[in-house]
């Protein structure tokens, strides 16, 4: 069964706007990661946040983690048409000795 669930399932915004996607999970984690998948391609790792971190930045990406609510959010600022893709959260359970468990993804469309 899926550990992470992304919300919304689909998101459509104008170029230049910010995009926010959320991920909720069920059990305690070691870390949470976000991946991007362009249509017909494999997934690409974007960012990892550990359970003892609350916020992390990478370029136009900002990730937050709230372990008390078992949730994370991915913010893409000043979106571009090239950001159009599906975004997945993936978790590693707190034992650290388990494979990634992926959510179902958010489909982001950025309209030029």
Partner 1 sequence: NAGVTQTPKFQVLKTGQSMTLQCAQDMNHNSMYWYRQDPGMGLRLIYYSASEGTTDKGEVPNGYNVSRLNKREFSLRLESAAPSQTSVYFCASMRTRGSYEQYFGPGTRLTVT
Residues that bind partner 1 (CB under 8 A): 1-2, 30-31, 33, 40-45, 48, 88, 92, 96-97, 99-105
Nearer to partner 1, 19 or 101 (CB): 101
Q: 104 in helix, strand or coil?
A: coil
Nearer to partner 1, 59 or 99 (CB): 99
Q: 96 in helix, strand or coil?
A: coil
The DSSP H or E segment spanning 58 is strand 55-58
Cα distance between residue 60 and residue 43, in whole Å: 19
What is the total residue count of the chain? 112
How far apart are CB 23 and partner 1 at their closest, in Å? 11
How far apart are CB 53 and partner 1 at their closest, in Å? 13
């Amino acid at each position: 069964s899926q550990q992470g669930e992304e919300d919304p399932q689909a998101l459509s915004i104008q170029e230049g706007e910010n995009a926010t996607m959320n991920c909720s999970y069920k059990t305690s984690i070691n870390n949470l990661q976000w991946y991007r998948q362009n249509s017909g391609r494999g997934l690409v790792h974007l960012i990892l946040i550990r359970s003892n971190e609350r916020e992390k930045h990478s370029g136009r990406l900002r990730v937050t983690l709230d372990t008390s609510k078992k949730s994370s959010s991915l913010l893409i600022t000043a979106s571009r048409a090239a950001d159009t893709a599906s975004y997945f959260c993936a978790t590693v359970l707190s034992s650290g000795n388990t494979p990634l468990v992926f959510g179902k993804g958010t489909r982001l469309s950025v309209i030029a």
